Structure 1
Amino acid sequence: MAGKLTAAQGTGVLLVTANVGSLFEDPENLQKTWLREFYQVSVHTYKPHFLAVHCQEVGGKNYEASMSHVDSFVKELLSSDAMKEYNRARVYLDENYKSQEHFTALGSFYFIHESLKSIHQFDFKAKKFKKVVGKETYSETLESTPSLEKEKFPQDYFPEVGGILSTICLFLRYIFLYCIKDVQRTLRFQRFQDFKFKHETGSLVSLCSTATMHTIRVADTNEVDKLIFRESDNDRKVVLQLEKKLFNYVNQDVFRENNGTPLLEYDKELSVFKDRLHELEISFPPSYPYSEDSSQGKQYMNTRCPAWCDRILLSVSARDLVLKPENEEKSIIYDNIGPNVCMGDHKPVFLSFRIAAGAGKPNANKHKCCVVQ
């Protein structure tokens, strides 16, 4: 177990983003491994005072069949011996899959270590902070839960747009517009989730710069059906084949060597928001799409081009808080969980840092809502 924590040297914070859909498709195998690796990072290695886990695809892809496994997953997190020093918790689960208008399949878990003595949470209905005590779980009635605000994109929000980049830009613009409705929302926030970032596949074709591309079209519509890249010699070996839901590249090691970071030049979505969003330097391999075979911890599936889909982004003010001069750089870690074992089709990604005592308090020229509560 982790040693006793003290907040005297600052508050340790750990943020985790995890697409957990695979866990509920194969709970017997994947869930146990996932939890073991999660405990190793969250409790034994970094020992945070405050732990926040943001999950996507809670309940798996087949919600009606798999949602029953969610309760056991939550009970394990709340009652495990590994988490016993976290005596306060808040869990928010969107399990109401029958309401497609509101359903998001998101889940948020917040754990507070016993060494933090006075923790308050904002009540949006009462418009004041209330003391956090005990462990509470909320589900199905999230729209009426006073301790959070839930928003889902309007179903008609996205027009027909060209490609994933445009969709992500619209998504982030929506977030910014929602935040600035109220200045008290805007000053410090983190977005940690599976953003579905994908590389520009056209740019990645440079992996096959010496190969010849062959285009196969659908006879009736003349639409492109697949692209095949063959070497000019070597018996015209196929180097890359692209189809809908297929990215079959001859050498997956390119995504693992040097953690695949030479390919980050093709990861361009965030450049549009470089003045408003900050991300620490990525030094881990693409987080998706890994094989869901429990014996293939490092193998990627051939369904998509491997990419850094799971990210933790900071607003400018949150970045300044994390990167305070008194925070030693070595104490800020941005990495993935379970690099050598199967964690499902996504590797969880985490950000660990410390907040110095008194950090975030306002001065005469700042809004009072800058206070870290």
Structure 2
Amino acid sequence: MDSAQEDGTCTDVFLVTANVGSLFEDPERLLQLWLHEFLAKISHVQPRFLALHLQEVGGKTYEKSMEYVQEFIRCLCDAPEMGDFTCVHIFMDEDFKSAEHFTALGSLYFVHKDVASLKIWNFLTHSWEESLQDVKDKHIYSGNIETIATKEKSKFPQHFFPECKWSRKGFMRTRWEINGTVIDLVNIHLFHDASNLAACENFPSVYCKTRRRALVHTIERFHLDEQNGTVPFFLFGDFNFRCDTEGVVKELTENLTPHRVQNVKNENDKIHYRNSTGNNVLTVGKKEFSHADHQLKFKEDWLKKFDRELEPLKDVLVEYPIKFVPSYPFEEDPEMPTDYMSTRCPAWCDRILMSPQVHEIIRSDDWTYGMIGEAVCMGDHKPVYLTVRLKPNKGPSDPTGVSQLPESLSNLVNQALNDDSLWMEQSVVDDSNASNSSVAKSRYILMKKGASSPCKEAPDEAGALAIKSDGLDTESAMLLKETTV
């Protein structure tokens, strides 16, 4: 097939990632604004395959906000702009009562009626769904979606979490064959920076290292998945990537004098950087990052050189050049749609990345990477999008098979394992009572004290038996149960 013919049969794909937590905390003011701007973009782009990855579905008060999630889905599906998308698959992880599984991720896929051939993968049978009815029409899965086989979802193991707080972070994967070409679409939400002061200490910060470890863990998992095989993938979500905060502060405070202000009562330390006349130019606190020229300074080109979290991963993840301003943290006030909050150093948290193999299946010279709602309040995160043209018939028809770890990824895995500041010595304890079920598999991980010690958790009954049978000392170790669904 020559390039002209191929161009005519390419599928226009539109990928969007959006952290929507703040929408559901103030739905009356923000929900319709967000939907209007998003739908206007769909109308303009006219894609044939739309993938919308959401994070923090329901917001921080998800117990109270889940009713608005259903309204959000209904408004989106019923919008006139979506009328030609006749195939819909929606996966909304809303079971907030399940601490072991809840990720608050939502993955929504809309396929235009003009797409001639479409398949979706079953991660339990390790094959394509055979029934056309299982692919076409509308399929909306919400609440507890653990048993839905056309997605793979996992919450990161508890020992990955900084400060031992097991929050809703993880990934969700689907696999599609679109006009004969297979891709994985992965929704991901990584850990945030808990303290600006800690992030300033060095680069990479402890938060950056934790994000990298979870990211490497996720990619490694795909490459070692022999039952489902490895295919080209797009990985898009809220990576919570932050700028090199240490470097940013040095850049902003040259010729300034630091003054530390300590508040013993609430441990709310701050550092004020002042000029020669005694005026504050920059203030850094645990949850404060405020510059005298805050609304202009962080939209300038100088900041981009401090966007460095992807540097060690350049051989395993690629990204188109970023030409838009940092996507976070914007004011949540509709009257201030272009202003940043003074809580964090603005950063490109929301990204669309891909495996290097993606370039073989897309028209690499025909893409747009941008932001939705530059002049409209979209919450604290602005959605980020990528348009690409997917070539037809690039396969593989059977993705299963033995997957090998690329050398570059293997090196990253080894680096993460040997990082004493994050990892503790681990040994896997066999779960003698584990079920042979193909739906859920558990393993126990014994965490021994190392450079840093996480909070202890009492092992469950099966875990306690495993410790006892191995003669392990629970006073100097912690047992974690990791369940894969």
Q: Which interval holds the TM-score relative to the shorter structure?
A: 0.7 to 0.9
Which sits farther off after the overlay, 195-204 or 331-340? 195-204
Match of 2:261 among 191, 198, 216: 216
Alpha-carbon shift at residue 340 of structure 1 (Å) = 0.6
Choose the corresponding residue for 1:345, options 363, 380, 383: 380
Residues 160 and 210 in structure 2, CA contact (< 8 A), matched pair in contact too? no
What amino acid is aligned across from residue 345 of structure 1 in structure 2?
A: D
Q: Which residue of 2 aligns with 1:293?
A: 333
- Structure number with the bigger relative contact order (C-alpha 8 A, sep ≥ 6) is 1
Deviations 1:161-208 (A, max 9, x none): 952211111111111221122254433111100111111221111122
Indicate which of 247, 252, 265 corresponds to 1:207: 252
Deviation at 1:368, TM superposition (A): 4.7
Tell me the SS of whatever aligns to 1:278. coil
1:320: how far off?
A: 3.5
Which residue does the alignment assign to 2:223?
Answer: 180
Task: Mark the CA change 1:81 to 1:187 in structure 2 (over 3 Å): closer, same or farther.
Answer: same
Residue 61 (str. 1) matches residue 60 (str. 2)? yes
Summarize deviations over 1:42-94 as a string: whole Å, max 9, x none.
2x221111000000000011011111110000011111111000011000001
Residue aligning to 2:77? 78
2:367 match: 332
For residues 216 and 319 of structure 1, the distance between their equivalents in structure 2, rounded to whole angstroms, comes to 51
Residue in 2 that maps onto 1:112: 111
Q: How does 1:76-225 map to 2 (within 5 A)?
A: 76-130=75-129, 131=132, 132-158=135-161, 163-183=206-226, 184-205=228-249, 206-217=251-262, 225=269
Q: TM-score, normalised by structure 2?
A: 0.68
The change in CA–CA distance for 1:136 and 1:245 in structure 2 (over 3 A counts) is same
Aligned partners of 2:232 and 2:392: how far apart in 1? 17
Shift, 1:210, TM fit: 2.5
Runs of at least 4 residues off by over 4 Å:
158-162, 218-221
Equivalence for 1:248? 290
- Structure 1 residues 12-51: aligned runs within 5 Å: 12-42=12-42, 44-51=43-50
Distance (whole Å) between structure 2 residues aligned to residue 185 and residue 137 of structure 1: 26
Asked whether the equivalents of residues 215 and 224 of structure 1 are also in contact (C-alpha less than 8 Å), the reply is: no
SS at match of 1:369: coil
2:49 maps to amino acid = F
Q: Residues 92 and 109 of structure 1 are in contact (CA less than 8 Å); yes or no, is this contact kept in structure 2?
A: yes
Note the C-alpha offset of 1:111. Answer: 0.3
Instruction: Specify the SS of the correspondent of 2:152.
Output: coil
* 1:116 alignment partner, SS class: coil
Report the CA distance between 1:224 and its aligned residue. 8.5
Question: How far is 1:141 from its partner?
Answer: 3.0
SS of 2:139's equivalent?
Answer: strand
- Alpha-carbon contact 1:94-1:107 (below 8 Å) kept: yes
Q: Which runs of 5+ in 1 are unaligned?
A: 1-6
SS at match of 2:16: strand
Q: Which residue number corresponds to residue 315 of structure 1?
A: 355
CA shift for structure 1 position 19: 0.3
- Cα distance in 2, alignment partners of residues 66 and 220 from structure 1: 34
One-letter amino acid of the structure 1 residue matched with residue 273 of structure 2: F
- How far 1:319 sits from its partner (Å)? 3.4
Q: What secondary structure is seen at the aligned counterpart in 2 of 1:151?
A: strand
- Counterpart of 1:213, as a letter, is P
The AA in structure 2 aligned to 1:19 is N
State the distance in 1 between where 2:71 and 2:265 align. Answer: 50
Query: What value does the CA root-mean-square deviation take over the aligned residues?
Result: 2.1
Partner Cα distance (1:92, 1:145) in 2: 9
Segments of 5+ residues of structure 2 without an aligned counterpart are: 1-6, 165-204, 401-485
- Distance in 2 (CA, whole Å) between partners of 1:334 and 1:16 is 10
Cα distance in 1, alignment partners of residues 103 and 117 from structure 2: 32
Aligned pair count reads 347
Of all paired residues, the percent bearing the same amino acid is 41
Equivalent position amino acid for 2:372 in 1 = I
2:275 corresponds in structure 1 to 231
Question: What do the CA deviations read for 1:274-315 (whole angstroms, capped 9, x no partner)?
Answer: 110001100000000000001111000111111000001101
CA contact (8 A) 1:245 1:304 kept: yes
TM-score, normalised to structure 1's length? 0.88
CA contact (8 A) 1:164 1:197 kept: no
2:162–2:207 Cα contact (<8 Å) kept:
no
Alpha carbons of 1:80 and 1:45: their partners in 2 closer, same or farther (altered >3 Å)?
Answer: same
Question: Relative to structure 2, which stretch is displaced further, 280-289 or 166-175?
Answer: 166-175
Work out whether residues 160 and 214 of structure 2, in 8 Å CA contact, stay in contact via their aligned partners in 1.
no
Q: Which residue of 1 aligns with 2:391?
A: 356
Residue 311 of structure 2 aligns to which amino acid in structure 1? S
Displacement of 1:361 in angstroms is 3.5
- Residue type of the alignment partner of 1:66: S
The residue aligned with 1:369 is: 399
